[in-house]
Amino acid sequence: MHLTDLVCTACSKPHDAAVPQNVCTACGKPLFARYDLAAAGRTLTKASLAGRVKSLWRYREVLPVKNDADIVTLGEGFTPLLPAPRLGAKHGLAHLFIKDEAQNPTASFKARGMTTAVSMAKQLGLKKLAVPSAGNAAGALAAYAARAGMETHIFMPRDTPRANIIECEQMGAHVTLINGLITDCGAEVAKRKVAEGWFDVSTLKEPYRAEGKKTLGYELAEQLAWKLPDVILYPTGGGTGLIGMWKAFEEMERLGWIGAARPRMFSVQATGCQPIVRAFMAGEKFAAEHVGAQTKASGLRVPKAIGDFIMLDALRKSGGGAVAVTDEEMIACTREVGAAEGVFVAPEGAACYAALKQLLAEKRVRPEEVVVLFNTSTGLKYLECYGG
């Protein structure tokens, strides 16, 4: 509503938000949306939120869509922040929470990014959208594009969880399965998009998925009475959610809603695909591709992320870090979380609990701290992971 322009996250080159944009035309890095926050703050106040719709569109003034008629929504966002007292008690934690993104319309956090991306595609007059996906982004795009009456072309690794493939097919998407990883799927989209007339909505290769994801940060602040948690553990593939939250914290500080303090942000990856962990440990600005990436947590099987430098900067500035866990730990932790708290988390969500155990053992998380684990999807989409 108060979108002014787009700016490159690397070289700061401004770009016109009135026309479709992918990455920076100068350096090829992701673009961020910028807003007139002074104008937004005149109507978007803590008090004004009390009577607003319980969806991410409650933060309308800091989301990019100009006209309400272009909003493509299924009721996404404002997911519960669930106390986890039994899990917490096992580890002496009095303030442990699970942000349960499985309660979004497409049963994953990807609904957040796709509602804003597809809404902006509608505003800009786009008709055909394409995406490479490890699973949940594909399902979300298929749903929102169907809602908007758009044509969708989806490319997924052949071994993507079957539930994701069926989900896309049943919502009318054109699905192509690729022998390879999400990077191979992305290469196929890049090769064909111009000739086919597709607009690429890959992670951070268009500016607006991050805007939907940033509402995670706004929600956390609101649900915790405008005091941010001490620690956030976030499962990281492409990293849009982590990046979006970091952007939200800056915007909220500029709005006068929070101070300068930030949660310690921890990126959680699989040992079989840990480019961010390796780069963080090595003190690198960018993350080298993880060759031969393998993990049952399909959302974490992203060997190379375009937003690597933004993630690594946020992790370091927050005083956080990066943790890798094994597939075996994830699967065991799925049952532990489910049995203790009644939440059937995805392997990616279970990875955050496994990482928390590591951080507690290393005394990098203290008992009195407020800790939030992110569950990004439902375990029901990953039944192949749990055997017979």
- What is the pLDDT averaged over residues 217-232? 98
Q: Are strands 174-178 and 151-157 parallel, antiparallel or unpaired?
A: parallel
What residue type is assigned to position 227 of the chain?
Answer: K
Residue 387, pLDDT above cutoff 90 = no
**pLDDT in the model for residue 68:** 96
Rg (the chain; Cα; Å): 19
**pLDDT in the model for residue 291:** 95
- What is the pLDDT averaged over residues 106-134? 97
Contact predicate 378/256, CB 8 Å? no
Q: What is the token pair recorded at 286?
A: 């960018």
Contact predicate 289/276, CB 8 Å? no
% of the chain beyond a pLDDT of 90: 96
Q: Among all chains, which residue has been given the structure tokens 């169907």?
A: 146
Domain ranges (residues) in the chain: 81-108+208-386
**pLDDT in the model for residue 1:** 81
- What is the pLDDT averaged over residues 9-26? 98
Residue 98, pLDDT above cutoff 90 = yes
Residue 322, pLDDT above cutoff 90 = yes
Where does the pLDDT of residue 388 fall: very low under 50, low under 70, confident under 90, or very high at 90 and above?
A: low
- What is the pLDDT averaged over residues 319-345? 98
Q: What is the token pair recorded at 368?
A: 């009195």
Please spell the DSSP secondary structure of 165-215, one letter per residue: HHHHHHTT-EEEEESS-HHHHHHHHHHHHHHHTPEE--TTSSSSHHHHHHH
Residues whose CB is less than 8 angstroms from the CB of residue 11 and which lie 6 or more positions away in sequence, other chains included: 24, 26, 27, 29
Q: 78-87, 109-118, 291-300, 350-359: lowest mean pLDDT where? A: 291-300
**pLDDT in the model for residue 233:** 98
Residues whose CB is less than 8 angstroms from the CB of residue 50 and which lie 6 or more positions away in sequence, other chains included: none
Residue 140, pLDDT above cutoff 70 = yes
Three-state SS string across the chain, please? Answer: CCEEEEEECCCCCEECCCCCCCCCCCCCCCEEEEECHHHHCCCCCCCHHHHCCCCHHHHHHHCCCCCHHHCCCCCCCCCCEEECHHHHHHCCCCEEEEEEHHHCCCCECHHHHHHHHHHHHHHCCCCEEEEECCCHHHHHHHHHHHHHCCEEEEEEECCCCHHHHHHHHHCCCEEEEECCCHHHHHHHHHHHHHHHCCEECCCCCCCCHHHHHHHHHHHHHHHCCCCCCCEEEEECCCCHHHHHHHHHHHHHHHHCCCCCCCCEEEEEEECCECHHHHHHHHCCCCCCCCCCCCCCCHHHCCCCCCCHHHHHHHHHHHCCEEEEECHHHHHHHHHHHHHHHCCCECHHHHHHHHHHHHHHHCCCCCCCCEEEEEECEEHHHHHHHHCC
- Count how many residues are written for the chain: 388
Closest CA relative to residue 137, chosen from 172, 182, 100: 182
- What are 241-260's pLDDT values in tens digits? 999 999 999 999 999 999 99
What residue type is assigned to position 125 of the chain?
Answer: G
- What is the pLDDT averaged over residues 226-245? 97
C-alpha atoms less than 13 angstroms from C-alpha of 167 in its C-beta half-sphere: 25
Work out the mean pLDDT of the chain and round it to a whole number. 97
Q: What is the token pair recorded at 67?
A: 């006209």
Residue 2, pLDDT above cutoff 80 = yes
Residue 18, pLDDT above cutoff 70 = yes
What would be the CATH architecture of the domain defined by 81-108+208-386?
A: 3-Layer(aba) Sandwich (3.40)
Where does the pLDDT of residue 27 fall: very low under 50, low under 70, confident under 90, or very high at 90 and above?
A: very high
- What are 292-314's pLDDT values in tens digits? 999 999 999 999 999 999 999 99
Look at the alpha carbons of 196, 72, 347, 319 in this order and tell me if their dihedral is positive or negative.
positive
- What are 149-191's pLDDT values in tens digits? 999 999 999 999 899 999 999 999 999 999 999 999 999 999 9
- What are 69-96's pLDDT values in tens digits? 999 999 999 999 999 999 999 999 999 9
Distance, CA of 175 to CA of 138 (rounded, Å): 9
Where does the pLDDT of residue 134 fall: very low under 50, low under 70, confident under 90, or very high at 90 and above?
A: confident
C-alpha atoms less than 13 angstroms from C-alpha of 358 in its C-beta half-sphere: 20
**pLDDT in the model for residue 43:** 98
- What are 185-209's pLDDT values in tens digits? 999 999 999 999 999 999 999 999 9
- What are 267-277's pLDDT values in tens digits? 999 999 999 99
Where does the pLDDT of residue 236 fall: very low under 50, low under 70, confident under 90, or very high at 90 and above?
A: very high
Distance, CA of 86 to CA of 75 (rounded, Å): 30
